[in-house]
Each structure stands twice: as C-alpha cells, then as structure tokens.
C-alpha cells in the first residue's frame, strides 16, 4: 500500500492535517464500517448465544495474530485490552506493589502510564528527561534506580517530544523488569518483543513480566504479565495502527 492509498482511507485528511496520533487519532473508513456493521448486527440480533461468542473469539484470535506479527512475537503472548491505560493498569495491579517498593518512571509519560504508576501504591521516582536526548535520558533513568526498584515504567517513544528510548539497552543494563508503553511506537517504528527478556510494550500496548509478578497475575486472562522466561504484550482491542 502506498502512502497515498493509506491516506485515502482517512476521510478527515481531505480537510485537515491531522496531527493527533494518540487516543484521539483519526478513524479509517474500513474501521468505522466494521464498527458500524457490528453495532447494527448487535442491535438486530442481540449480543448473546454460542454463535455470537464463537464469532467474537474468532475475531479476537485473528486480531492477536495480526498484532503478534507486528510485534515479532506469537499470538499467545498478546492480550487484548480496551486501551493502553488498561494494559498498564493490569500490569501494575498484578505486581502488588507496596510503599517500600520503588517504580522508576520519567517526567515525559502520558497519563495512560503515569496514572497507573502513581496509583500502584509504590513509591515513584521520576527521572527528568523532558529536555534530554535518548542517551542522556537512559542515564537519567538509570540514576534513579535504587536497591528498592521493582520496576522501570517508560514509553518506547515519548509522546511529548518524540524521543525514542532504547528500552532494550535499559533492560540489558539494569536487568530489572521493564513496563513499556508502546502507544506511540507500535505501528510507527519497528518493535521486536522477542529481543526483550521481560516486558514490552506495545501498543498497547503495554506488557510486563517481572520478578515480582504474582502467580495470580501471571495467569491473568488479560495476559499482560508473562510466565518467567516469556515475553508478552497487551494491545487495546480497538488498537489503531498508529497513535
């Protein structure tokens, strides 16, 4: 597909240069048609019964497969959530953090990650990266790590200044669990969750596995946390190709 063909899928682009690639990103015509069709069928046929549930499960499986390909992973490592914020909340809630645990994040996070981090019950240490380039930002994050750090929670691409953080380097350097908000990266830049030993993004777009992950959360149906040694990602079910 060419850029012109891709742009033609978004009618709003005929009128404006649409610069919001986040929660309020533009809708493509095929997307709105599928939503409208499903809503019409729900209204006419109801929303219950085995055929209905089977169809829903099939659609979810197909979506997991498409997203897995985008993330260089396999479908069983993808969980669908209703939003990035939801995915981050699932990961943070699953860790069961307490005030004597620390989470390191940055001052450039979207509330979709920052909200769950601050609501997690952990003590939050904030690295000041807003004015920094990618390498300096990693240094600033590492400088906030202490013996009590349980999780690093950062975006792959910072929504406020477009800086791309090398989350792989962060993981390699610290060995700590990393929760990556991939809302601004998945679909826009290459993402390979296989290369991350623990956690990733995505676009969901958030996912995590960590040493502190409880058994209950590991087997969470949302799948936002992974069994030891595996990687996973959670993706909003209505995920856009780019946010």
Ligand X SMILES: Cc1ncc(COP(=O)(O)O)c(C=O)c1O
Close Cβ partners of 59 (under 8 Å, ≥ 6 residues apart): none
Report the residue number, 115 or 227, with the smaller CB distance to ligand X. Answer: 115
* CB 82, min distance to ligand X, A: 8
By the rule CB under 6 A, 233 interacts with ligand X: no
Stretch that binds ligand X, among 95-103, 179-187, 193-201, 222-230 (CB under 6 A): 179-187
Q: Which of 71, 78, 97, 113 binds ligand X (CB under 6 A)?
A: 113
Q: Which of 73, 84, 89, 234 binds ligand X (CB under 6 A)?
A: 84
- How far is residue 202's CA from residue 181's CA, in Å, rounded to a whole number? 6
Helices 84-95, 111-118: crossing angle, 10 deg rounding: 20
3-class secondary-structure state, position 21: coil
Report the residue number, 94 or 112, with the smaller CB distance to ligand X. Answer: 112
- How far is residue 40's CA from residue 35's CA, in Å, rounded to a whole number? 9
CA atoms within 13 A on the CB side of 10: 18
By the rule CB under 6 A, 184 interacts with ligand X: yes
Binding mask 132-171 for ligand X (x = CB under 6 A): -----------------------x---x------------
Distance of CA 243 to the CA centre of its chain: 11
By the rule CB under 6 A, 70 interacts with ligand X: no
By the rule CB under 6 A, 85 interacts with ligand X: yes
Total of residues contacting ligand X (CB under 6 A): 15
Beta bridge pairs of residue 177: none
By the rule CB under 6 A, 181 interacts with ligand X: yes
As a whole number of Å, the CA-based R_g of the chain is 18
Report the residue number, 184 or 217, with the smaller CB distance to ligand X. Answer: 184
By the rule CB under 6 A, 112 interacts with ligand X: yes
Close Cβ partners of 121 (under 8 Å, ≥ 6 residues apart): 97, 98, 99, 101
- How far is residue 158's CA from residue 185's CA, in Å, rounded to a whole number? 9
Site of interaction with ligand X (CB under 6 A): 22-23, 83-85, 110, 112-113, 155, 159, 181, 183-184, 236, 243
């Amino acid at each position: 597909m060419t850029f012109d063909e891709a742009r033609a899928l978004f009618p709003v682009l005929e009128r404006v240069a649409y610069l919001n690639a986040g929660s309020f990103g533009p809708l493509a015509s095929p997307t709105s048609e599928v939503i409208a069709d499903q809503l019409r069928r729900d209204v006419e046929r109801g929303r219950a019964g085995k055929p209905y549930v089977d169809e829903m499960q099939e659609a979810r499986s197909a979506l997991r497969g498409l997203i897995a390909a985008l993330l260089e992973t396999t479908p069983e490592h993808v969980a669908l959530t209703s939003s990035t914020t939801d995915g981050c909340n699932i990961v943070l809630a699953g860790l069961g953090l307490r005030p004597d645990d620390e989470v390191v994040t940055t001052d450039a996070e979207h509330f979709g990650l920052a909200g769950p981090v601050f609501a997690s019950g952990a003590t939050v240490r904030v690295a000041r990266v807003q004015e920094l380039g990618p390498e300096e930002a990693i240094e600033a994050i590492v400088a906030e790590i202490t013996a009590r750090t349980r999780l690093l929670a950062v975006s792959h691409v910072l929504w406020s200044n477009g800086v791309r953080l090398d989350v792989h380097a962060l993981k390699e350097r610290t060995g700590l669990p990393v929760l990556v908000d991939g809302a601004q990266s998945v679909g826009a830049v290459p993402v390979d969750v296989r290369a991350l030993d623990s956690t990733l993004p995505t676009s969901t777009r958030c996912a995590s596995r960590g040493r502190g992950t409880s058994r209950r959360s590991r087997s969470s149906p949302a799948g936002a946390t992974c069994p030891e040694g595996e990687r996973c990602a959670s993706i909003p079910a209505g995920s856009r190709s780019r946010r």
